[in-house]
Amino acid sequence: MSRSPKLIAAIAGTTALLVAGCSSGAAEKVAQDPSKPLELWARTTPGGDGEKGMQKLAAAFERASGQKVEVTAIFDDFETKLAQRAAQKDLPDIVMNDSSQLGTMVTQGIVREVDLASVKGSDQLLQPALDAAKSGDGKTYGLPYSAQAAALLIRKDWRQKVGLPVPTNWDQFVALAKAFTTQDPDGNGKADTHGLAVPGSTKRGYASWYFSNFLWAAGGDFIAKQADGKYKPAMSTPESVAATKWFRDLACTTKVVQPGAATMDTPPTNESFEAGKTGMYVVGPYLLPRFDDALGKDKYEVVPAPKGPKDATVLAEGGSVYLMAGSPNEAGQNAFAAFAISAEGQKIGMEGQKAYIVQLPVNKTVDIATVRNDPRWKVYADAYRLSGRYAPSIPNWTPVRQQSADTINALIADCGLDLNAELTKLDKQLGETLSQQGIGASS
């Protein structure tokens, strides 16, 4: 996810520190000790289910290999703490982080290239997941261990009350959103429900992150890759303009989005759905256990995202095992990555109702239906396989997502802004960002 402009500037400084502190060191020969314990950093909340899942995977690897793994969960100030270790030329051996961070980590020079021939089972990875681990130069940095894609959650009891079908296209989607907003689906006699939950905040680029599901389904794009491998800004193309107008109208014209969406990141947006304030939510599978507890499985349904003007493309994401530069135990790094992507490791990572770290398996020999006896997970697996799309592997996706989030947020927060003018300004910003990264098309 992306961040605020101030934090982007801070990260830019951090990047310089990382490159100065680690890139040169990465080229140095490090004495190898295959018995040395592996230090693993996981980007997750300390003490939470994510940390428990990582510890379970690490313990299983230790039992299978005899290799010691020390797990550290970090969420707040993750980049800063990683930068401090890079400056000391003492990075952890392994980092479990978002796949979308690949470009940034490669640019920082803190990860080493993965030799797939040295990682057993890498040939069993699903191609889309493996492609997401490749940088723009075609080299692999990191191994995917988990994938996810978005689907549509609907308050089933509300839908049945208003008498409308599961939406399969945008017209039906808007009609259902309107009904949820105007027909008192919860029956409390108050006009206090809305059709769609939207995390529209600029924080970490949430507005852009969420909007991507609709932008791509309409045939639009943030940036467009050219035949020569360079990129052009694409938010002022007819398809992107139409998608942005449609999305904005949900907040400004039909008013089916929850009040205050422009200030909300995911926690309050999640609460709006589980508290019965919104009736639909496009989101990944990680919230199913939470909503099962809060609402009950019988109160909501999981269905494929409705087809847009082009198709039903949705955002695909995931997590990767990054093998950090300068490790004295590269054999151990490879072995842990191999275990995480193996059928055994994938199944261990998927176990449990809460402390699981694998959303959808990336190993093509693992059938999700044999691990989770819940057809809703197959909806997500199909969405990933048939409609999932990762953000492009560019040197740094963060500013692209953040700049587009700032604009989308402004447009839904201020319905009087000139949409075309704002998107034209955004394309200018994106063009400058692409040029700074050395991937901007000349015309």
pLDDT tens per residue across span 274-288:
999 999 999 999 999
Residues 24 and 171 in one domain: no
Q: Look-up: residue for tokens 């909300």?
A: 264
Please give the residue range of the domain that contains residue 248. Answer: 151-315+396-436
In the prediction, which pLDDT does 28 show?
Answer: 67
Q: Among 355, 374, 389, where does a domain finish?
A: 389
In the prediction, which pLDDT does 214 show?
Answer: 98
CATH number of the domain encompassing residue 222:
3.40.190.10
Residue 442 inside a domain? The answer is no
State whether residue 197 is helix, strand or coil.
coil
Angle between helices 343-350 and 49-65 (to 10 degrees): 150
Residues 271 and 190 in one domain: yes
In the prediction, which pLDDT does 327 show?
Answer: 97
State whether residue 386 is helix, strand or coil.
helix
Residue 443 inside a domain? The answer is no
Q: Look-up: residue for tokens 């400004």?
A: 252
Percent of the chain with pLDDT over 90: 88
Residues 297 and 422 in one domain: yes
In the prediction, which pLDDT does 258 show?
Answer: 98
Residues 106 and 252 in one domain: no
What does the DSSP 8-state code read for residue 69?
Answer: E
Alpha-carbon gap, residue 90 to 104, rounded angstroms = 19
Percent of the chain with pLDDT over 70: 93
Residues 198 and 220 in one domain: yes
Mean pLDDT of the 230-238 span: 98
Residues 212 and 328 in one domain: no
Above 50 in pLDDT, residue 1? no
In the prediction, which pLDDT does 413 show?
Answer: 98
Per-residue model confidence as pLDDT tens digits over 94-110: 999 999 899 989 989 99
Residues 35 and 51 in one domain: yes
Residue 419 inside a domain? The answer is yes
Residue 334 inside a domain? The answer is yes
Residue 441 inside a domain? The answer is no
Cβ atoms 98, 357 nearer than 8 A = no
Query: Is pLDDT larger for residue 328 or for residue 11?
Result: 328
Alpha-carbon distances of 326 from 29, 94, 248, 265, 339, rounded to whole Å:
8, 11, 47, 36, 21
CB atoms within 10 A of CB 293: 12
Residue 97 inside a domain? The answer is yes
Residues 349 and 321 in one domain: yes
Residue 218 inside a domain? The answer is yes
Above 60 in pLDDT, residue 15? no
Mean pLDDT of the 61-79 span: 96
State whether residue 113 is helix, strand or coil.
coil
Residue 241 inside a domain? The answer is yes
Residues 123 and 9 in one domain: yes
Q: Which two tokens stand for residue 255?
A: 């008013």
Residues 228 and 296 in one domain: yes
Based on C-alpha coordinates, what's the Rg of the chain?
22
Above 70 in pLDDT, residue 16? no
Residues 326 and 407 in one domain: no
Number of domains, the chain = 2
Residues 136 and 284 in one domain: no
Mean pLDDT of the 409-415 span: 98
Strands 314-323 and 388-389: parallel
